[in-house]
Amino acid sequence: MNAAPDVPAADAKDERLEPRLQGALREMLTSNWLVTVAALLLALVVSAVLIAAADEDVHTTAGYLFARPADFLSAVWDSVWGAYVALFQGAIVDPTAATFTKAIRPLTETMTWSVPLILAGLGLSVGFRAGLFNIGAQGQIILGAIFGGYIGFAFGLPPVLHLLLAIIAAALGGAIWAGIAGFLKARTGANEVIVTIMLNNIAVYLVAYLLTLTAFKRPGSNNPQSPAIEGTAVYPQLLGDGFRLHAGFLLAILATVFVWWLMDRSTLGFQFRAVGANPSAARTAGININRIYLLVMLTSGALAGLAGSAQVLGTEKVLTAGVAASFGFDAITVALLGRSKPLGTFLAGLLFGALRAGGFAMQARTGTPIDIVLVVQSLVVLFIAAPPLVRAVFRLPSPGRRKQVSPTPAPVTKEAAA
């Protein structure tokens, strides 16, 4: 951080008191929530351009745009509106569905998709707040799935114990994988961005390799997949067999609370945050930076490993090469949208889970490829990261001190940052 001139200590009392209502309105207009919503809107609008641009009807009507502009406009509208309606119906509620259960199914799909996103996002948020760019969620999810899955299908154990052991194993797998990067960073100063990305690729090949070994192969199947997870090791369904929602969602909630406590109430989290904000000052205050780097990565990886458990023991109930899907990178966007705070990450996980659930429905119904969801996701994150941009587009006021007329300007110390 370059040294900006220090702002003097403000006077305790504000000179002018605004009427309450105006103050509240101003609060709302400058709040981060509004910026988040605005960013989402902006992202949807920009993505709409892509949706329209790829639509057949739009192409045809564009050909005679000037003769009959109304056709073009309605084609654009149809394509975009159709896509977004399908998105909504796939993500929240489907009013056109026959039964009540079918109508609320989308919501449960959203929740199911959000579980690995929340868990992995929490893991990454811990890393980000400690100043470590853990891009390796994909690999850590895979390793978690491998460890958890193996316990799940290779052993027969009593019900609750089996699931618990599998979950712990998954956390362990993810922790170890991330721990490699943490260890290298602590010992050699290796750039964790590159190491975690490399470990992602290695993990992908590792799981493919393991699935060729007899220990991991499902007998009698030509597809590379593991034996089915034992019934004693799967997450129980929360709403019965009609829905995919499983107890992993409860784990996600627990994890959110845990991460909040860890980062904001525990001495360990204090150290994590100090190292993330200013490693030199943390060192001078006696914090062991290298130990913290390792612990951060272990924690981060463990949470991502739990996301792997949600996949292999909850949704898929089998270990395959594609077990991590694209959750790895999605989790990064979740953590960023949630500004690396626990509650924000939870909500962001739900939002992106909704986008994914809705995206599949949108792809099925309107033929819009699911890749557009990636576009929306990354645009939202970019806009969120640049509040001034969003504010400029929507002409929202910026927060911060109203002009104060201080009676005596305090001395300014300009620490020149050479």
How many Cα neighbours within 13 Å face the side chain of 190? 17
**What's the min distance (Å) between Cβ of 263 and another protein?**
11
Q: Is 146 in the site for another protein (CB under 8 A)?
A: no
Binding to another protein in span 391-410, by CB under 8 A: 401, 403-404, 406, 409-410
Spatial neighbors of 28 by CB under 8 A, at least 6 apart, are 34
Cα 55 from Cα 301, distance rounded (Å): 41
Q: Is 324 in the site for another protein (CB under 8 A)?
A: no
Cα 388 from Cα 164, distance rounded (Å): 46
Q: Which lies closer to another protein via its Cβ, residue 277 or residue 343? A: 277
Q: Which lies closer to another protein via its Cβ, residue 28 or residue 410? A: 410
**What's the min distance (Å) between Cβ of 133 and another protein?**
5
Q: Which lies closer to another protein via its Cβ, residue 116 or residue 314? A: 116
End-to-end alpha carbon distance in the chain: 12
How many Cα neighbours within 13 Å face the side chain of 16? 9
**What's the min distance (Å) between Cβ of 409 and another protein?**
6
Q: Which lies closer to another protein via its Cβ, residue 104 or residue 204? A: 204
Q: By CB under 8 A, name the one of 40, 184, 334, 347 that touches another protein.
A: 184
Binding to another protein in span 347-386, by CB under 8 A: 368-369, 371-375, 377-379, 381-382, 385-386
Spatial neighbors of 416 by CB under 8 A, at least 6 apart, are 3
Q: In terms of C-beta density within 10 A (0-12 exposed, 13-18 middle, 19 or more buried), how is residue 64 classed? A: exposed
Q: Which residue has the tokens 């699935």?
A: 211
Q: Which stretch binds another protein (CB under 8 A): 104-112, 140-148, 152-160, 275-283?
A: 275-283
Residue 246 phi, psi dihedral angles, 5° rounding: -125, 175
Q: Is 49 in the site for another protein (CB under 8 A)?
A: no
Q: By CB under 8 A, name the one of 250, 277, 343, 364 that touches another protein.
A: 277
**What's the min distance (Å) between Cβ of 130 and another protein?**
13
**What's the min distance (Å) between Cβ of 246 and another protein?**
27
Q: By CB under 8 A, name the one of 209, 215, 236, 254 that touches another protein.
A: 209
Q: Is 17 in the site for another protein (CB under 8 A)?
A: no
Q: Which lies closer to another protein via its Cβ, residue 101 or residue 201? A: 201
Q: Which stretch binds another protein (CB under 8 A): 25-33, 104-112, 168-176, 259-267?
A: 259-267
Spatial neighbors of 46 by CB under 8 A, at least 6 apart, are 375, 379
Q: Which lies closer to another protein via its Cβ, residue 5 or residue 220? A: 5
Residues linked to residue 225 through DSSP beta bridges, in sequence order: 320
How many residues bind another protein (CB under 8 A)? The answer is: 89
The C-alpha torsion from 297 through 298 and 301 to 302, rounded to 10°, is -150
Q: Which stretch binds another protein (CB under 8 A): 161-169, 283-291, 292-300, 343-351?
A: 283-291
Q: Which stretch binds another protein (CB under 8 A): 108-116, 160-168, 203-211, 236-244?
A: 203-211
Q: In terms of C-beta density within 10 A (0-12 exposed, 13-18 middle, 19 or more buried), how is residue 378 classed? A: middle
Q: Is 155 in the site for another protein (CB under 8 A)?
A: no
The C-alpha torsion from 112 through 115 and 116 to 118, rounded to 10°, is 140
Binding to another protein in span 83-122, by CB under 8 A: none
Residues linked to residue 246 through DSSP beta bridges, in sequence order: 237
Chain centroid to CA 145: how far? Answer: 18
Binding to another protein in span 53-72, by CB under 8 A: 53-54, 56
- Contact indicator for 154, 229 with CB cutoff of 8 Å: no
